[in-house]
């Protein structure tokens, strides 16, 4: 999608392969700086996922796929399968909730195992990882096309966290319908939840919308109910990190659940936008990542051009920091996917489509 630079507006993807290097927009620097990170091997790519240089379900999924390719391309002919299995465990252990990571790592791993020999495995892994990246970008575009039809002219839309193109290879999930509606000439306004503690809304979503010239305002996380009650929000669209196919339970950034409950209380449609790679066909439970308490106790910002980290509580304070919460499908109007829009009670149809293919 578009990035305003000193030399004009340029199109960027969130991450890509250059030879054996993974290159990605460093999301720890946005919005204050624009920098491309280079990860030379699977361990560096795994660390970029863990420390959130790259984040968002779709983007970490493709980072995982590229990481497996990096691993096979530096493996030894005699024990490459053993090496790849270890690399897959290492990559999967970085972040437990987002299903796309497991989906993509396992996809490339299977491709390697199915290959006849080491040379074939390297070629097949590259092809598979690039296919997944392309599919990820296209899924976002399709989600945009389906979701755009739900957006009327002058709609005011609430979104939480960042489920934009930075969370994918391109386009995004929750923001894709907004981008498509803008391109279709509709006027829009986006309420951007700041999304404590990592502030993906204030830092990343607002930056994406600024680059796409879409009107928006960052709101404190606890202000959404106020605007819903005043009738100033027409719909909510959020992304997802993992959706259980059998019952539609949806894990997304912490705070999503309370927005969904508030939306139902205020008769506001609440949509979850996600590619089918986010749907978990097997699990019965969703592991919730607990992150460092420092993310709650300190806030980073731009202080006169200097990026500064400041404490916001007393020096002995302790904090708890669950990264995601789970929303029951009774609060979800429908799931917007690249295969179409599905009400929660129609997920069986989507499951059949995925199993039949
Ligand atoms: O912790 P993050 O920034 O990886 O969490 C991201 C989200 O919760 C997104 O809403 C989700 O991944 C869906 S789309 C990228």
Q: Give the pLDDT confidence of 180-234 residue by residue, as tens digits.
A: 999 999 999 999 999 999 999 999 999 999 999 999 999 999 999 999 999 999 9
- When the pLDDT of each residue in the chain is averaged and rounded to a whole number, the result is 97
Q: In the structure, which protein residues have their CB atom closer than 6 angstroms to any atom of ligand 1? A: 55-58, 98, 161, 163, 167, 173, 200, 239-241, 252-253, 323
Average pLDDT over residues 327-351: 98
How far is the C-alpha of 163 from the C-alpha of 355, rounded, in Å? 26
6 falls in which pLDDT band (50, 70, 90)?
confident
Q: Give the pLDDT confidence of 22-49 residue by residue, as tens digits.
A: 999 999 999 999 999 999 999 999 999 9
* CA neighbor of 333 nearest in space, from 190, 147, 209, 205: 147
Output the pLDDT for position 7.
87
Average pLDDT over residues 93-101: 98
Average pLDDT over residues 112-119: 96
Number of residues that this document lists for the chain: 357
174 falls in which pLDDT band (50, 70, 90)?
very high
Output the pLDDT for position 278.
98
How far is the C-alpha of 241 from the C-alpha of 56, rounded, in Å? 8
Q: 122 CA to middle of ligand 1, Å?
A: 30
Q: 18 CA to middle of ligand 1, Å?
A: 25
Give the DSSP H or E segment for 135: helix 118-148
Output the pLDDT for position 41.
98
Atom 2 (ligand 1) nearest CA:
56
Q: Catalytic residue among 241, 294, 325, 356, which? A: 241
Average pLDDT over residues 155-169: 98
Q: Which residues contact 128 (CB under 8 A, 6 or more apart)?
A: 65, 69, 107, 108, 111
279 falls in which pLDDT band (50, 70, 90)?
very high
Q: Is the pLDDT of residue 285 over 90?
A: yes
Whole-angstrom CA distances from 169 to 30, 62, 321 are 16, 8, 27
How far is the C-alpha of 47 from the C-alpha of 24, rounded, in Å? 13
Output the pLDDT for position 76.
95
Predicted model pTM: 0.97
Q: Give the pLDDT confidence of 121-140 residue by residue, as tens digits.
A: 999 999 999 999 999 999 99
What domains, with CATH codes, occur in the chain?
A: 2-141 (1.20.120.420), 144-356 (3.40.50.10470)
Output the pLDDT for position 99.
98
Q: 301 CA to middle of ligand 1, Å?
A: 20
Output the pLDDT for position 109.
98
């Amino acid at each position: 999608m578009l990035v305003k630079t000193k030399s004009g507006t340029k199109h960027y993807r969130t991450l890509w392969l250059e030879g054996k290097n993974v290159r990605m927009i460093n999301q720890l620097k946005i919005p204050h700086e624009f920098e491309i990170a280079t990860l030379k091997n699977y361990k560096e790519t795994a660390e970029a996922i863990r420390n959130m240089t790259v984040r968002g379900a779709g983007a970490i999924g493709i980072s995982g796929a590229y990481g497996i390719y990096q691993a096979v391309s530096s493996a030894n002919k005699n024990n490459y399968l053993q090496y790849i299995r270890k690399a897959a465990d290492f990559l999967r252990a970085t972040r437990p909730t987002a299903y796309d990571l497991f989906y993509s790592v396992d996809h490339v791993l299977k491709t390697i195992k199915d290959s006849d020999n080491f040379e074939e495995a390297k070629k097949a892994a590259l092809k598979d990882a690039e296919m997944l990246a392309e599919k990820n970008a296209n899924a976002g575009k399709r989600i945009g096309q389906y979701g755009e039809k739900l957006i009327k002219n002058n709609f005011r839309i609430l979104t939480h966290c960042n489920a934009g193109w930075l969370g994918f290879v391109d386009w995004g999930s929750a923001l894709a319908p907004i981008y498509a509606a803008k391109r279709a000439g509709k006027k829009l306004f986006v309420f951007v939840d700041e999304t404590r503690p990592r502030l993906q809304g204030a830092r990343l979503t607002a930056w994406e919308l600024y680059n796409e010239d879409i009107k928006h305002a960052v709101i404190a996380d606890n202000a959404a109910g106020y605007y819903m009650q005043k009738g100033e929000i027409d719909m909510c669209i959020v992304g997802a990190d993992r959706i259980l196919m059998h019952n539609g339970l949806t894990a997304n950034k912490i705070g999503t659940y309370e927005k969904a409950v508030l939306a139902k209380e205020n008769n506001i449609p609440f949509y979850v936008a996600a590619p089918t790679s986010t749907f978990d066909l097997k699990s019965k439970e969703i592991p919730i990542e607990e992150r460092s308490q420092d993310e709650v106790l300190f806030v980073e910002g731009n202080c006169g051009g200097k990026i500064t980290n400041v404490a916001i509580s007393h020096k002995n304070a302790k904090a708890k920091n669950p990264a995601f919460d789970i929303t029951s499908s009774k609060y979800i109007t429908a799931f917007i996917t690249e295969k179409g829009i599905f009400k929660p009670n129609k997920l069986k149809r989507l499951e059949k489509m995925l199993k039949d293919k």
